[in-house]
């Protein structure tokens, strides 16, 4: 965890929660690991008050469990959790893509296209961490264009791990290109189809990794 950026002292607990989410997503905090307050405070240069508020927020999101006599522990999902979460998420993001294709403005489309090209640059230099952050921003931007909010925080770390396989990462890039094409064409049915297939394919990869002990 030594390479995680420090947080300015002026930041609020929501900024702390954002950094902790990134640490969970990128594997700096492993599933089932205890969140050590002393270490995290030292690492992020913060006091315990904003850290504890951030942990409460993440517990409400289902990202950590608050256990008696153990404190906060990073959530560990089972196969049924993953299956059910991706089923719902695929339908939600499919609907979001469909609505975005109908409602997106030229400015919103231009912003998504710019993020896509930044993400392509990360892919080209195998920058998985940068790719993931841009990927999350693209999905959030699609949901914003649909006038909806993203609710998939609990499976973000699993989405990140699906791209550690180079062929699957390449396929994900292709699918993101198809999303952009569908939005550009204002093709709502294509946008829904691409996003549903994208999420269900990630579900299958995650389940395969779990069954092989890799997630």
Domains defined along the chain, listed by start = 13-74 (1.10.10.10), 79-211 (1.20.120.530)
**CA distance readout (Å), 35 to 69, 94, 161, 193:** 13, 34, 21, 39
pLDDT, position 10: 45
* 3-state DSSP assignment of residue 131: helix
Give pLDDT, residue 152. 56
Q: CA 53, 58, 61, 64: dihedral to nearest 10 degrees? A: -130
Q: Residue 207: how many CB atoms within 10 A of its CB?
A: 16
For residue 9, what pLDDT is reported? 47
Q: What is the mean pLDDT of each run of 10 residues along the chain (215 residues)?
A: 51 78 83 91 90 90 85 88 84 92 96 96 91 89 82 61 76 94 96 92 84 70
CA 163 to CA 85: how far, in whole Å?
A: 18
**Helix, strand or coil, per DSSP, at residue 127:** coil
Instruction: Give residue 208's pLDDT.
Output: 85
- Closest CA relative to residue 148, chosen from 187, 199, 185, 96: 96
């Amino acid at each position: 965890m030594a390479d995680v950026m420090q947080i300015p002292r002026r930041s609020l607990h929501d900024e702390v929660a954002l950094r902790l989410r990134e640490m969970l997503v990128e594997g700096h905090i492993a599933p089932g690991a205890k969140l050590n307050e002393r270490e995290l405070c030292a690492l992020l240069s913060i006091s315990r008050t904003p850290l504890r508020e951030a942990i409460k927020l993440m517990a409400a999101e289902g990202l950590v469990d608050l256990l008696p006599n153990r404190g906060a522990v990073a959530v560990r999902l089972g196969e049924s959790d993953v299956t059910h979460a991706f089923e719902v998420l695929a339908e939600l993001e499919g609907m979001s893509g469909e609505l975005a294709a109908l409602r997106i403005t030229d400015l919103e489309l231009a912003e998504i296209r710019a993020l896509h090209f930044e993400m392509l640059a990360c892919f080209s230099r195998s920058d998985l961490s940068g790719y993931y952050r841009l990927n999350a921003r693209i999905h959030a931007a699609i949901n914003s264009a649909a006038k909806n909010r993203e609710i998939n925080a609990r499976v973000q770390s699993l989405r990140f791990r699906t791209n550690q396989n180079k062929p699957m990462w390449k396929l994900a890039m292709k699918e993101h290109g198809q999303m952009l094409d569908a939005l550009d064409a204002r093709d709502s049915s294509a946008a829904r189809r691409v996003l549903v297939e994208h999420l269900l394919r990630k579900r299958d990869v995650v389940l395969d990794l779990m069954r092989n002990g890799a997630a």
